[in-house]
Amino acid sequence: MALASAPNERAFAARRERDWSTLEGIVRIAEQRGPKRLRPADVHALPSLYRDVCGDLSRAQAARYSAPLIDYLQGLTAQSHTVLYGAHAAGPSAEARADAPSWATAFPVAVRRHWRAMALATLLFFVPFFLGLMAALAEPHFAFRVVPEAMLRPLTESYQQGFAAGRASADDTLMTGFYVNNNVGIALRCFALGIFGGLGSAVTLVQNGLFTGAVLGYVGSQGAGLNIVTFIVGHGTFELGAIVLAGGAGLAMGWSVVSPGERTRLASLQSVARDVVVIVAGAAVMLFIAALIEGFWSSSSVPTPVKLVVGGVNFALVLAYLALAGRGARGRRGGRAA
Amino acid sequence: MPNAAPLETDVAIETPEHIVFRYRVAGPARRGLAHLLDLLICYSALAVLGAIVLLAASAGGVLGADPESLAHAGAGVLLVALFFVQWVYFVVAESVWGRSPGKAALGVRVVTAEGRPIGFAHAALRNLLRAADSLPVGYALGVAFMAGTRRFQRLGDLVAGTLVVHTSDHARAEPIRLWPPARPDELAALPERVGLDPEERAAIELFLRRRGRLGALREAELARMVAPALGRRFDYRHPDPARMLALLYDRAVNAGREEAPPSSRGASPGAAWR
């Protein structure tokens, strides 16, 4: 029987405590200063010390030593497990990493894999957008139902002035900060709220589509249409595209709960969320680009035709990137379109 | 006592070495405090940045620049900082260190459901989903989900497949020693085998560890609640009930065990008592 052959707790602890404190010291350094700061000798000693402590823990459990000793060994095992199997080691295997597309191609690949969700998100944004645009062009007062009048009037005045004068660079910084905070926040929230069966994303998309359309329509109805189009065209692809993509990712995540297929709802949710998080990251990067363009280029005094051409080129580039990047290197990978 | 009866809030993790250890899952109160601390850190930093911007703007104004445009530029910087506080701080801290500073201060960390440290995708997902967890106000939904799941997971944890656990940094406790050692007359009456089930052992152990911190009367009172029942079971009597518990515990835990073989430190540590 195990009990009869095991040493008593005091003898066991006295015998092993030197190794335990060595391991404790190594783990403390790794936790506080990072595993890269360990001395070579410590790195060398760590795996075997860890295995010994694992053995000590199971022996202590089998011999039913007192709870504090077992708690201590559990804690030490857990801490060294964290150091040994840390985030740097927890990633995909080298083989999987070689297979996985790089960040730059993972984003468009994931977008294409979830093309149905993306198409739905596009409809959910642009149908209200055109409805709002048409309604506000036909009847400017409609816009006030969607956007507060106090916000629309000064906005319209500023567009009526045009950009010939440019804008002070300090104001560019202010507006860039505002766009980063506001627009990236909207896109990220648009994704997150998709967890509720996609409803949160859908509502956010419709809301923002209607809002943007109404603003555009109202400003157009007041005779500053060309100005606002000139303003928007440079960054619009990035900004509106990113919100649509983030919303599409949210729809895909929501749909994975509603219709999990052969998996449990939780398993389906986790795998789809893992799959679309790269889309959200890509959308965030697009919004940063949009904020920079919007703050420093769209408001500048560059002549209108140049802005229109650059806007068109941006649109073509983004579309080509999403449609083509990463194609051919690998076919469709495992995932399921949502 | 994790080794006796696993608490509901424990999760067992099996390592590749087939060793099972347990994490204690952190509850809403501790996590709430950690979050408050993080908010405090973030917004204090933001306030300091705001003060610097304000000072820089007024200093610039003194030197002849347009104070209003400086203030605008500063406000732009502040808005970017606000974005970082709201969306980036947690993702970066948790993907690099596995915990935000607030969590570190309260002794909790984020691990995957398999007990491994988290990576960027985990950190990004669980923190993006804060937008859903914090609905309608003050993380009400997140707390509701934590109450409804066995491992205290809010929505973000469920989506990312993560847990928030206590970092176990138990100080090492000395094993309990029978002191003074058993006298011959005490040993004579003590039964050869004392069979205690794990819960009884744990209870007596807890009592013996706290003995020194209890008053003498309280100690005797507690011991008298248990000792007579055990005495009847093992047919053993002792004038001092606390001493009797110590004797029974010592016999139950150490009977039949060897003392360690003479120390031979350094030479194949684990192998000595296979």
Of B156, B139, B153, nearest to A270 by C-alpha is B156
Chain A contact set for B163 (CB, 8 A)? none
Q: Are A13 and B175 inside 8 Å of each other by CB?
A: yes
**Among candidate residues B132, B87, B76, B136, the one with its CA nearest the CA of residue A283:** B87
**For residues A199 and B273, which has the higher predicted lDDT (pLDDT)?**
A199
pLDDT at res. B44: 93
**CB distance B117–A87 less than 8 Å?**
yes
Q: What percent of chain B has pLDDT over 70?
A: 85
Q: How would residue B5 be classed by pLDDT, with cut points 50, 70 and 90?
A: very low
* Closest CA of chain B from A271, distance in Å: 9
Would you call A48 an interface residue with chain B, using a CB distance cutoff of 8 Å?
no
Please check whether residue B125 touches A, CB under 8 A. Answer: yes
Any idea what the Cα angle at residue B178 is, between residues B173 and B181, rounded to 5°? 145
DSSP summary character for residue A36: G
Judged by a CB distance cut-off of 8 A, whether residue B201 touches chain A is yes
Asked if B260 is an interface residue toward chain A (Cβ–Cβ < 8 A), one would say: yes
Q: Which of A10, A82, A193 sits opposite B175 (nearest CB)?
A: A10
Q: What's the whole-model pTM score?
A: 0.74
Q: Which of A1, A3, A8 to mutate to test the interface with B (most CBs of B within 10 A)?
A: A8
**Per-residue pLDDT tens for A260-269?**
888 888 888 8
Q: What ipTM was assigned to the predicted interfaces of this complex?
A: 0.76
Mean pLDDT of chain A: 80
Q: Is A270 on the interface with B (CB under 8 A)?
A: yes
Asked if A188 contacts A284 with a C-beta cutoff of 8 angstroms, the reply is: yes
pLDDT of residue B266 exceeding 60: no
Rounded to a whole number of angstroms, the distance from the CA of A38 to the nearest CA of chain B is: 16
Query: Inter-chain contact B73–A174, Cβ cutoff 8 Å?
Result: yes
| Mean pLDDT, rounded, for B97-114 | 86
B95: nearest CA partner in chain A: A87
For A174, list phi and psi in degrees, rounded to 5. Answer: -60, -50
Q: Is B136 on the interface with A (CB under 8 A)?
A: no
What does the block give as tokens for A163? 């950009």
Cα(B160)–Cα(B95) distance, integer angstroms: 12
Picking from A91-105, A132-146, B17-31, B181-195, which range would have the lowest pLDDT averaged per residue?
A: A91-105
In angstroms, the CA A43 to CA A55 distance is: 19
Mean pLDDT along residues A123-130: 92
Q: Mind telling me how many Å the CA of A221 is from chain B's nearest CA?
A: 31
